[in-house]
Structure 1
Amino acid sequence: MTMPAEESGETPLRRRPTQRRSARRVERMLDACADLLDEVGYDALSTTRIAERAGVAIGSIYQFFPDKRAIAQAVTRRHVEEFVSRIGRRFISEEYGGWWDAVDAIIDEYVEMHRTVPGFRSMHFGDVVDLNLLDAVSDNHAVIAGRLRGLLLQEYGFTDSEDLDLAVLIAVEAGDAVLKLAFRRDPNGAPEIVSEAKRLIRGYLSRQLVGASA
């Protein structure tokens, strides 16, 4: 499996901030980008708008990022890290009857971030902009599936295999498509479609993962 870009050493940053003040400035740029994505969309996004919203000079933007795509890429990676961290915290703090309840929790976290995290509903995991936004080789859903697969392996002891890789990837693709439909129907996510997404993914994985657990 291809390693996610942040683990392979690739980064959208021209250079990493080495001082706390610089790091805070970069975070303001990412926050501004996320807000603007929701307000004006990616096509109307510009480095000038991001600089104005963040309260920094345009030169500060180019000190760390070559263009708006790189900033959007960094925002999307931040979404991924937050998504995986939230799921990890839930896995630690909550008790599940089985992997199917864990899958429901993953979907619930996706829906909650879609509702509350700036920029998330506009970018999801970057597929609107670039299918390889997170990794130059693997598409975005493959990167996300790899992260979620790792959590399921760690927590539920499934046997690592190519069949498991494919099953989780298909579940991520299908779930993302249905959940996007839920948010097209209702800005907060049509609950009946969210429920169907859970049923679809649980049913599919139940059929695919028989015998895959240790």
Structure 2
Amino acid sequence: MDLILGADHGRRRSVRTEPTQRRSSQRLDALLDAAAEIVDELGFERLTTQMVAERAGASIGTVYRYFPDRVAVLHALRERSVRRFRERLAEAVDGAELVAWWDVVDLALDVCTELYRDEPGFAVVYSAPREASEVDGEPEIAHRVARLLEHDFGVIDDAEVRLRLGIALEIGATLIHRAFVRDGAGDARYLDEAHRVVRDYLGRHLADQLAAAPAA
């Protein structure tokens, strides 16, 4: 699980005041819950700090205690959504019987789909730039999956693997996002294509590395 949940490279927090007590943490989550509902109903472009305050039943001063503006609210909502994706993926990996390298990537796509269905505001993840590693500029999730593939299946974690994983997961995330734009429950055709296209892409561009990797 640590391979998925490890610390971010150069991660910057969007929250102005970090909650130090349970009550403050609950207040912050309530504000983000309110923002998530608004994003799902109206889209992230129309969200305002006043809307967040009203929906959460809080004063505007409470919102500004944590966030300087609406952009910071959206960034914090995205950070929370990304964290929950990683937590869900770590749990899925920990509880799964991984037979081949594809099982890891397959789980990542499945977890992304699940969160579109049951994590309010999760679509905001797609609307902002991905977290890039300071090591090589590739998406942070590509580094995490690469480390897991190396640990469990002997796929060497190198620049080429991270590049191809980053591209593949970006393609998959785009198709999953499009599936939910087309259909609130997720267009099954797009979801199926996300898995097929990503597997074909990785199988084609990492054929040598993946063929050399032993089964679990």
- Per the normalisation by structure 1, the TM-score is 0.85
Distance 1:97 1:33 in 2: 39
Distance 2:104 2:201 in 1: 15
| 4+ aligned runs moved over 3 Å, structure 1 | 4-7, 134-138
Q: Which has the higher contact order (CA 8 A, sep 6+)?
A: 2
Q: Secondary structure at the match of 2:47?
A: coil
- 2:85 match: 83
Deviations 1:35-77 (A, max 9, x none): 1100111121111110111121111111111111111111111
Mapped pair 1:106 → 2:108: yes
Equivalent AA in structure 2 for residue 16 of structure 1: E
Distance 2:59 2:152 in 1: 46
Matched pairs, number: 205
Structure 1: gaps of 5 or more residues: none
Distance 1:136 1:47 in 2: 30
- 1:72 match: 74
Equivalent AA in structure 1 for residue 86 of structure 2: V
Distance 2:190 2:133 in 1: 32
- 1:118 match: 120
1:23 to 22, 25, 47: 25
Distance 1:71 1:98 in 2: 39
Distance 1:35 1:142 in 2: 27
Identity of aligned residues (%): 35
Mapped pair 1:197 → 2:194: yes
Equivalent AA in structure 1 for residue 53 of structure 2: A
Q: Mark the CA change 1:102 to 1:135 in structure 2 (over 3 Å): closer, same or farther.
A: closer
1:206 to 183, 203, 208: 203
- Per the normalisation by structure 2, the TM-score is 0.84
Equivalent AA in structure 1 for residue 70 of structure 2: K
Once the two structures are TM-superposed, the CA of residue 153 in structure 1 deviates from its matched residue by 3.0
Once the two structures are TM-superposed, the CA of residue 9 in structure 1 deviates from its matched residue by 5.3
Q: Alpha carbon RMSD of aligned pairs, Å?
A: 2.5
Once the two structures are TM-superposed, the CA of residue 100 in structure 1 deviates from its matched residue by 1.2
Once the two structures are TM-superposed, the CA of residue 144 in structure 1 deviates from its matched residue by 3.1
Distance 2:108 2:20 in 1: 34
1:49 to 47, 51, 54: 51
Question: 2:14·2:73 contact (CA, 8 Å) conserved in 1?
Answer: yes
